[in-house]
Amino acid sequence: MPPDQLSFKRALRIAFDDPLRALVLLWQHVHVQGNLETGLNRPLCERQADEGRLALERGQTLPSIHPAAALRAVDLYLAGLSLGHGPIARKVVMSAGAEGTFWVISRRTGWSSRIAESQCGHPEYWLRHFQVVPAAHKGITISVRPAPRTLVKPSNKNLAFLAGGFLDGVLPDWNATSPFRCQVLKDPTLRWSSVEALLSSAAKAGAAIVVLPELTVDAEVRERIRTWLRETTRESQFALVVAGSFHEDRGGARRNVAYVFDDDGNEVLQHVKLRPMRAMPDEEWVEEDIEGGALVSLMHAWFGLVGVAICLDFCECGNVPVTDLWRETGPALMLIPSMGTTPTNSAHRRKTEELARLHGTVAVVASQHGQIAEAFGILFDGSKTTHEDRPLLNGKLPWTHE
């Protein structure tokens, strides 16, 4: 019997005793190996899924049914178990014969995407309550951590955000020629005045999430942000503040790092840029003099996974690991500090359109021009309409209006 059939048979046998591992085996069977289309009959598989779920609830072995039906049966069975309070993220280490480590992660109630709603030839049609995320993707390690307390429970059904940049003309203190590097802003005092005004505006608007652009917040301004969050009294509470990003030296290597703070100024996440800029716009060589990272940390909120990506980490195309990273991880929300122009923003839109069809992903982008005083806040939700404003966009995450 082929190895994939052996793993499928094993998944059926262990579904009652070890449903998490069974779900991963079934996901591998239909997602990685592509064994979903053969013999697929939607009405029949849906009936088989209900019968399989009932069998598991009675403590019986999952019967030999179509892989799609088995996937849904285990998904429904897991959803009915008491796995604890709040979002569930469980790490599953597979045994010999099914290599790898995976995360099994609960989706928000009522999750859907266009593919999940309409195309039964995709695993997402059958897997509605949980998602399976590999713990590594083409050399990039993927970790999942709990979100801050303000994003753990659906206490706020109407999450507002503010995203965008600055018109103060403050630029990074670049070196004169490519490869470009910077460790400070040319005028951090003026930039802090702009940041403080932005944060005050966000607090008055009741924003829960704030996103600032790439290469706009150096170490001095970042510490002022933390102090402001700790000491300033506000009626509304921030859940996440993505304090832009900047270059810094780490262990002999230069990195581009984004920091994420909670309402008290505590660091809840940091992201090291994975994909440095190396391009030739207008026949001029432009290189970002940093080394790329190899780790992505996702936060698990009540509405799903939250990812942070710096510019090319999200919108890159071509045969490189980051191109399909987010397709594999399936974030509900991407927060993106970016530096670029209209083509960069259009690339973010194209990537979000793809992810929205598959996963229902929404992307919030803070975009700053690298040479002139121009900035945009942008919301991409997979629709044909782009929500954009200059230099700041106040908005609400679309699925939180339910």
pLDDT digits (tens, 9 = 90+) for 188-218: 999 999 999 999 999 999 999 999 999 999 9
Q: What is the pLDDT of residue 109?
A: 85
- Does residue 118 carry a pLDDT above 70? yes
> Within its chain, how far is the Cα of 212 from the centroid?
17
Lowest mean pLDDT among 45-54, 174-183, 229-238, 258-267: 174-183
| Domain ranges (residues) in the chain | 3-134, 144-401
Mean pLDDT score, 350-361: 95
Mean pLDDT score, 287-300: 94
> Within its chain, how far is the Cα of 176 from the centroid?
35
Q: What is the C-alpha R_g of the chain?
A: 22
Q: For residues 380 and 386, what is the distance between their CA atoms, to the nearest angstrom?
A: 6
Contact criterion met (CB below 8 Å) for 240 and 264:
no
**Predicted confidence band of residue 284 (pLDDT cuts 50, 70, 90):** confident
Q: What is the pLDDT of residue 153?
A: 64
Mean pLDDT score, 291-296: 96
Q: What is the pLDDT of residue 274?
A: 98
User: Which CATH number is associated with domain 144-401?
Assistant: 3.60.110.10
Lowest mean pLDDT among 219-233, 253-267, 273-287: 273-287
**In terms of C-beta distances under 8 Å and separation of at least 24 residues, what long-range contacts does 347-353 make, across chains too?**
347/315, 347/316, 347/317, 348/314, 348/315, 348/378, 348/380, 349/378, 349/380, 349/386, 350/315, 351/314, 351/315, 351/326, 352/380, 352/381, 352/382, 353/380, 353/382
Q: Which residue carries 């993106």 as its tokens?
A: 336
Mean pLDDT score, 125-151: 93
Give the end-to-end CA distance of the chain in Å, rounded to a whole number. 48
Mean pLDDT taken over the chain: 92
- Among candidates 357, 401, 350, which has minimal Cα distance to 117? 357
- 39-53, 76-90, 172-186: which has the highest mean pLDDT? 39-53
pLDDT digits (tens, 9 = 90+) for 297-330: 999 998 999 999 999 999 999 999 999 999 999 9
- Does residue 235 carry a pLDDT above 90? no
**Predicted confidence band of residue 97 (pLDDT cuts 50, 70, 90):** very low
Q: For residues 294 and 303, what is the distance between their CA atoms, to the nearest angstrom?
A: 26
- Does residue 41 carry a pLDDT above 60? yes
CA pseudo-torsion sign 219, 224, 225, 230? positive
Contact criterion met (CB below 8 Å) for 384 and 356:
no
Q: What is the pLDDT of residue 295?
A: 97
**Predicted confidence band of residue 85 (pLDDT cuts 50, 70, 90):** low
Q: What is the pLDDT of residue 151?
A: 80
- Does residue 19 carry a pLDDT above 90? yes
**Predicted confidence band of residue 401 (pLDDT cuts 50, 70, 90):** low
- Does residue 136 carry a pLDDT above 90? yes
Q: What is the pLDDT of residue 279?
A: 72
Contact criterion met (CB below 8 Å) for 337 and 242:
yes
Q: What is the pLDDT of residue 124?
A: 94
Tell me the percentage of the chain whose pLDDT exceeds 70.
Answer: 94
Mean pLDDT score, 135-149: 93
- Does residue 282 carry a pLDDT above 80? no
* Structure tokens, 117: 């709603």
Q: What is the pLDDT of residue 1?
A: 47
Looking at residue 39, the DSSP 8-state letter turns out to be: T
**Predicted confidence band of residue 287 (pLDDT cuts 50, 70, 90):** confident
3-state secondary structure the chain: CCHHHHHHHHHHHHCCCCHHHHHHHHHHHHHHCCCCCCCCCHHHHHHHHHHHHHHHHCCCCCCCCCHHHHHHHHHHHHHHCCCCCCCCEEEEECCCCCCCEEEEEECCCCCCCHHHHHCCCCHHHHCCCEEEEECEECCEEEEEEECCHHHCCCCCCCCEEEEECCCCCCCECCCCCCCECCCCECCHHHHHHHHHHHHHHHHHCCCCEEECCCCCCCHHHHHHHHHHHHHCCCCCCCCEEEEEEEEEEECCEEEEEEEEECCCCCEEEEEECCCCCEECHHHCCEEECCCCCCEEEEEEECCEEEEECCCHHHHCCCCCHHHHHHHHHCCCEEEEEEECCHHHHHHHHHHHHHHHHHHCCEEEEEEECCCCCCEEEEEECCCCCCEEECCEEEEECHHHHC
Between 321 and 382, residue with greater pLDDT: 321
